[in-house]
Structure 1
Amino acid sequence: MAEQSEKLVWGCCALGLLDDKYVKCSKCKYAYHFTCLASNEDEEQSTASAEWMCPLCNVTPKNQNKDNTPVRYNPNITIRASKRPALNSPPSAEKPLTREEMLNIAHDMMSQMEKTMKSLLNSEVRPLKEELKEVKESMSFMNAQYEEVLREQEKSKETIKNLQTENNQMQVKIEDLSSRVNQLEQNARMNNVEIQCLPEKRDENLLSTVTKLANVIDCQLTEENVVKCTRIARMNKDSVRPRSIVVQFSTPRIRDQFLAASIKFNKPKPPQDKLNSSHLGMTCTKTPIFITEHLSATNKALHAAARLKAKQKGFKYVWIRGGRIYMRKTDNSEYIIVKDINSLDKIK
């Protein structure tokens, strides 16, 4: 009775209280509380003997029939296997569970739990698998579309590159053709001069005015030398300046003589005495008169831009000769030929 509780194996309950009186079976060596055996004092004294056996060990086995008589086979009879205890059934109160039985029960519980978990996981994971499959299919479709977009983009880049190359080539051709057309237009004006700022009159005779102007600048000119003489429309409709007069001479030589005479007339004179309306006997307000080469529309716009650039950069001279525009900053500096707008952009 003095053994420690840790060394005793109880066959009655799992409390293992040493304060209660107990007895040990002489056969299976399990300990039993007297209270669990429901014994009184007389029974306790008789039970305390060394030969006492627990109720399980004290069961008298039934007589076994060891006859060797064979049993007739009947196919309608099913021999049932020994019944296993239920998983959740409590252990028998008559005999404690052995280690092997506990392992079997644990194994069965684990198997059942595994089946339950598999079933639960399958029921929960199957929809996720289906959704994942759909996502993969969608991703595959989107990837295919993306690859197609990339291919189209590469094609578009190549097309744009080719178009840019063609555009640059066309731009060069257009500039070349524009230059040629401008040159042709300027050559078509090689017999012409433009008289600017000459006051207009209602019943004016332009041919007579031009011949009178030739006499003023000391240029030998007859009416037969003039092919055509007319005023042209203003480029700026809001301008208050008189319309310019375009005079077409019979030959470029006569045109050059007329221009040279006007330059010679103006060169030695101060600004207020240069060619003006008073030299023609006009009684209107004294206004300066300018005689220049008749420029094409492109060259005329370029001439205006050159004069503006000359004011900005402090150039002293801007003139026209042979349909070309020239600029010079000082009397001793080199002249610059203004071919196009890009030429003006390079001037610093």
Structure 2
Amino acid sequence: MPVCSGCTVELGEKKLFCKQCKGFYDLSCANVLEKDYNKFTLDEKTCWICAFCKSKNRKGGDNSNTPVRSSSALKPTEEDRAAHVTLRSRDRQRGLSGPPPPADHDVGHTGCVRIEELKDLIAKEIKENLNSSMIGIISTKLEPQLKNIREELADYSQAMKFFNEKFEEMVIRQGEYIDKVKTLEKDNQFLRDHVEKLNQRLKQIEDNARSANVEIQCLPENRSENLVSTVQQLGNVVKCPLNSSDILYCSRVAKMNTDSNRPRNVIVKLSSPMQRDTLLAACIKFNKSNQNDKLNTSHLGIAVDKKAPVYICEHLSPETKSLHAAARLKARELNYKFVWVRKNRVFMRKTEASDYVLIRNIEFLSKLT
């Protein structure tokens, strides 16, 4: 805070600045009444000169209105002492020692003002002279922009409120959907287990329905063929005679692959599973006994240009047939020597001395090493 150049007391809000000596004065040192100060205009305050500076500008007259200076501001210099002070002989001998000259940053009210003080002065003058009219003008200019800003903020606030409501709704719905998904997963797992059980039951029913069936593969087709007589001839060849009462059903079935050139298979339903197993065992024994002349078309009395082998096997379900085909490919890959089917189940064996392996499904087969 600046101090009065006259009495060196810290100044208040009401003060005057001398444009000539660059010093501040309170009203008492400036010899100005408060009511007169309140009537001063901005130009009068800016152009005001203290009484001390006015007295220096005069050529004569009285200096009774000169304000009281502080001792530091009115200290005489060496030149003033030399010009106006008569020195005694003892003073002349030892010399007159005076105070050191002030430093540049201590240049007071009769010298230059520091930049920091000047900035403070300008800021205070602007603050003191910013009257209500200027504030009104600024408010008038800024009010439309402020109004637009307030309206936009209100719109943003409304939009954020709307988004928050929607977000809360989405959170609630997401929780509901998660519960529904969990319920559906449980239902799905239950249905999977139930379908698996039904598949097992259906497979068991199919196996029971096919338990007395025999499938004859690669038997040549003929329009005038008698399949029952052919089956009886087959029984006689393998030394397992069959009567007409032992054969309950005999017919060809459609091809699974219509592009295949092989003849349609023949399905024979015998009187019992035991009769079926007896016929299959007799066919296996016949083929083992006749390695160079296994069961073929010539044994069944079918006239063809070239003898063709005829295969007798169990009547398998489509699922078991696919598993049997995959097992044959896997056996070729892993060098397994034996692959066979017994009672609608697929078995594999690597050598004569090794144990057999029951192939339950494709997953089990893929893990086989």
* 2:186 alignment partner, SS class: helix
Contact 2:238 2:282 in 1 (8 A): yes
* 2:21 alignment partner, SS class: helix
CA-CA distance at 1:32 after TM superposition: 9.7
Corresponding residue for residue 187 of structure 2: 166
TM-score, normalized by length of structure 1?
A: 0.69
For residues 274-301 of structure 1, the C-alpha deviation after alignment (integer angstroms, 9 at most, x for no partner) is: 2111222333222211111111222222
Change in Cα spacing, 1:266 to 1:118, as seen in structure 2 (3 Å) is: same
Paired residues for 1:243-262 under 5 Å:
243-262=264-283
State whether structure 2 residue 61 is matched by structure 1 residue 50.
yes
Contact 1:310 1:316 in 2 (8 A): yes
| Cα distance in 2 for residues equivalent to 1:197 and 1:112 | 116
Contact 2:252 2:264 in 1 (8 A): yes
State whether structure 2 residue 303 is matched by structure 1 residue 283.
yes
Corresponding residue for residue 320 of structure 1: 341
| Cα distance in 1 for residues equivalent to 2:323 and 2:210 | 16
| Cα distance in 2 for residues equivalent to 1:8 and 1:229 | 135
Paired residues for 1:183-332 under 5 Å:
183-270=204-291, 272-284=292-304, 285-332=306-353
Deviates more, 1:239-248 or 1:167-176: 167-176
Residue identity (%): 41
| Cα distance in 2 for residues equivalent to 1:207 and 1:237 | 25
* 1:180 alignment partner, SS class: helix
| Cα distance in 2 for residues equivalent to 1:267 and 1:280 | 18
Corresponding residue for residue 60 of structure 1: none
State whether structure 2 residue 154 is matched by structure 1 residue 133.
yes
CA-CA distance at 1:104 after TM superposition: 9.6
Equivalent position amino acid for 2:245 in 1:
E
* 1:175 alignment partner, SS class: helix
Runs of 4+ in 1 over 4 A off after TM superposition: 103-106
| Cα distance in 2 for residues equivalent to 1:129 and 1:105 | 30
CA-CA distance at 1:177 after TM superposition: 0.5
Paired residues for 1:92-111 under 5 Å:
107-111=128-132
Contact 1:8 1:30 in 2 (8 A): no
Equivalent position amino acid for 1:50 in 2:
G
| Cα distance in 2 for residues equivalent to 1:249 and 1:8 | 135
Contact 1:8 1:31 in 2 (8 A): no
Corresponding residue for residue 21 of structure 2: 6
Corresponding residue for residue 75 of structure 1: none
Equivalent position amino acid for 1:177 in 2:
L
* 2:274 alignment partner, SS class: helix
Contact 2:216 2:267 in 1 (8 A): yes
Structure 1 residues not aligned, in runs of 5+: 17-23, 34-46, 53-102
Structure 2 residues not aligned, in runs of 5+: 1-19, 25-43, 64-123
Aligned length: 272
CA-CA distance at 1:108 after TM superposition: 4.7
Corresponding residue for residue 152 of structure 1: 173
CA-CA distance at 1:152 after TM superposition: 1.3
